[in-house]
Structure 1
Amino acid sequence: MTDHCITLHILLVEDDKENLDLLLETLPDSLGEYGLEWEPCSDFAEAMKRVETRRYDMIVTDIYRDRPGHKKGIEIEDEKAGDIISGIRSKRFCPIVAFTDGSAPQSFKEGPFVKLADKSRGNKDIVAKLEELLTTGIPGIARRLHDDLDRASGSYLWDFLEGNWDRLIGNGLAEPSVLERLVRRRAAMQIGRLDPVADDPAEVETVEGVEYYIHPPVSDELRLGEILRHKGDGSFRVVLTPHCHLAIQPGKEEPRAEYILTVKTVPAKELLKTYPPQGSSEEKKLKSLGRMMQSPVRDNRLQPEGRYWFLPGFLDMPDLYCDFLQLESVPYKDALDRHERFAVLDTPFAEAFQSCFTRFYSAVGLPGLDPARMKHLIEE
């Protein structure tokens, strides 16, 4: 096999042994920049066991077929072929190519990461569907993510835990549950902060808008930085109430905060129409736009200073500005009944959002000093 940057491990499932052998002989061992390593399996029950215990980058599986001499419909083993798709989706993320040399199940639904290939004319369509999945970039990203997780947690285990094991035991921190949280936290932080395309480990300096958000929200409770979308008019607002006041205590249905402080948003395009980026060239306009994308916005035309906080667009939420002069306290129940939870600001953006709000409302104006009274500071 030719050397490739990434070799993908693919589970190949076919209940007919002769067809399985033929597929292994004829399917390619590489596509584009990816090497392909095939693992054959002739039993669907065994395939599900493997999916539970092993990691695959993609799965290519047979699905029920209309076989000559048999009543048209799903046979026992073919039902298992359909079950493996729902089984994979319930256990782990793994793009799937299902193939058939007859009609497909009526219930089968294709999607960005689940494809159906027609095998009646050989492997051409299977290969085409594999290429479609590879074009998304997801199989390679998932493989690199797993490898990065192994490296991040492995290096931490070797470099830190091994060297400090005795002290961890002495401080009562060697309990498996504590160690697992420690390793998870370290790996997540390291992967989240490092640039995935840099040759050497380096922290990311410029982020994309999608990195501001956790979607869907992980917590069942509302949190600081929660973005709510009104079910009626589709407007967005952001929660300003701190986490601690929104926590629901055991045995309770609502948090101690009966009301939730929120800040309303305004569409960025509307504000930029009134205050367009300034400059005589595109480069200067982009620099001006950059200042208006700072949080808080740094533009002398937008007063009082620190009033606006920029939210980059995400999915069907447009680019927005939080307006700290437009606050509204909403009853907790109304907030949930009238709004849907859209996303939540991730760290450190949620904390920066809170800090800017606090600084805006804690500003204190001071009377100025007369520079003429201070001439002695510049006199020789």
Structure 2
Amino acid sequence: MKTWNILAVDDDKESAASIKDLLERRPVSSRGDQCKVATTNDFNSALRILEKEQYDLLILDIRDQGMAASQGISPDGDAVTAADLGLTAYAEVTQRRFVPIVFHTALPDLASDLEAPPFTTVVSKLDPDEARIRSAVIEAFDSGLPELNRALIRHVESIHREFMSEFVQKNWNTFDGKRHQGDLAHLLVRRLAMSLTEGAPVLFPYLESSENHQIHDDKVHPMRMYLLPPADSWTTGDILQYADHRPDRSTEGGAEDGPSETQESVAQYWVTLTPACDLVEGRRKADYVVMARCLPLEETPEYLKWSSRNGNGDTATIAAQKSMQKLIANNREGQRDRYFFLPAAWDLPNLIVDFQQVIHVEYENVQNSPRLGTLDSPYSQSLISQFTRYLGRMGTPDLSIETVIQRLESSLTTQVSGDD
């Protein structure tokens, strides 16, 4: 059971005190978590408080009625005014840090377009059911967002503390003042990046699969293969949706059937193969983007056979299971290196990259296509490496293994006869 820290901002002292009493009297999560509520009646001071202290949730009023009265602004109304300091505070807070916010106001319409529970929730002060504000708070804490947020902040602070006290302090005499501040910043960033890549221990409880499938130390969760949302600029390993208007060359996962007569107009999945250095804005060298088609796993023959069940719900056959495993392991029967499996993650489906279905598209024609994610390192490098192997392979006639065995056997026979 945890104790959460809440900051309530309301120019009405009685309203702020009422919120504090309501929330501190009873649990604020389905797990029975408690809370401590700090209050302030000054909207401007809320930002200073948030800079000094870590809070897990913010409750905001909208209109400063004292300011409204002094400037002749109506205490109600559906138009935003200069006295709506709660909206200003909201904009400032969301630019500086992440914290779930609950608007508790007599003017709920002013924030209705911001409502997106559990990130931002709007509760009317005029609602006679005082449990509404508590329900909004419970929804925020039950979402797990404050818990994950707190764990991540503590991890970053821990790495920062260890870096400064155990490395910088011990080696301070070797640094030459401000000249090495840039070096220290780079080292700290790399240390943080590595700690998160490895899976920060404090975040382990959140890294478990939601399906309760055990992820072993030598395996990775599918999410760790991607950058979501995608990288800021176009790069190798971008997964996108693009409508290729050329004749479709596949219906289930291979190019063997030849071109179709129909023209494709529906956006399909593709992954970029163009080197990242050729896509850097400002010095872009690529006039065309090279992309490989990504086929939905669920449309492949292996998946259809594996997923088939009879009326009794029998599991897939051993042969079907092995075929699926080989496809996912990039070792489709007789097609090694041609296919590259991309596991489902977030809103990305399970995909099979087919290196026989490669197109070149003018950069201007593809740059507005929706990018869904980017393959992270080293998976983007692995994709390119496999693509290069597939293109660069050289076929040779199969060696007569039987002849080699016969020669070895003959050699052994001759050796035995000689010994006699």
Interval of TM-score (by shorter of Structure 1 and Structure 2): 0.7 to 0.9
Deviations for 1:94-144, whole angstroms, at most 9, x for unmatched residues? 111111356542744321311122444364111111111122211101111
Corresponding residue pairs, total: 361
Q: Closer, same or farther in 2 for the Cα pair 1:85/1:248, shift >3 Å?
A: closer
Q: Closer, same or farther in 2 for the Cα pair 1:314/1:203, shift >3 Å?
A: closer
The alignment status of 1:358 with 2:370, answered yes or no, reads no
| Deviation of the 1:16 alpha carbon | 0.8
SS of residue matched to 1:178? helix
SS of residue matched to 2:146? helix
Unaligned runs of 5+ in 1: none
SS of residue matched to 1:223? coil
Q: What does 1:109-188 align with in structure 2 at a 5 Å threshold? A: 109-112=114-117, 113-119=119-125, 120-121=127-128, 123-167=130-174, 169=175, 175-188=180-193
The alignment status of 1:7 with 2:3, answered yes or no, reads yes
Tell me if structure 1 keeps the 8 A contact 2:58–2:99.
yes
Q: Closer, same or farther in 2 for the Cα pair 1:206/1:333, shift >3 Å?
A: same
Tell me if structure 2 keeps the 8 A contact 1:44–1:77.
no
Q: Which amino acid aligns with 1:105?
A: L
Q: Taking every aligned residue pair, what percent have the same amino acid on both sides? A: 24
Tell me if structure 2 keeps the 8 A contact 1:58–1:95.
yes
Q: Which amino acid aligns with 1:150?
A: E
| Deviation of the 1:306 alpha carbon | 1.4
The alignment status of 1:18 with 2:14, answered yes or no, reads yes
Which residue among 207, 225, 231 is the counterpart of 1:218?
231
SS of residue matched to 1:27? helix
Moved more, 97-106 or 107-116: 97-106
How far apart, in 2, do the equivalents of 1:266 and 1:175 lie?
A: 49
Partner of 1:72: 76
Partner of 1:83: 88
| Deviation of the 1:24 alpha carbon | 2.2
Deviations for 1:198-240, whole angstroms, at most 9, x for unmatched residues? 69xx9854444333222333333x2110122116622121111
Tell me if structure 2 keeps the 8 A contact 1:193–1:203.
no
Partner of 2:357: 326
Tell me if structure 1 keeps the 8 A contact 2:100–2:120.
yes
Q: Which amino acid aligns with 2:46?
A: A
Partner of 1:371: 405
Q: Which amino acid aligns with 2:110?
A: P
Tell me if structure 2 keeps the 8 A contact 1:52–1:91.
no
SS of residue matched to 1:373? helix
How far apart, in 2, do the equivalents of 1:24 and 1:139 lie?
A: 19
The structure with the larger Rg is 2
TM-score (norm 2): 0.74
After superposition, the CA RMSD in angstroms is 3.6
Q: Which amino acid aligns with 2:408?
A: M
Partner of 2:262: none
Unaligned runs of 5+ in 2: 207-214, 244-264, 309-313
Which residue among 241, 244, 251 is the counterpart of 1:229?
241
Q: Closer, same or farther in 2 for the Cα pair 1:65/1:159, shift >3 Å?
A: closer
How far apart, in 1, do the equivalents of 2:81 and 2:307 lie?
A: 69
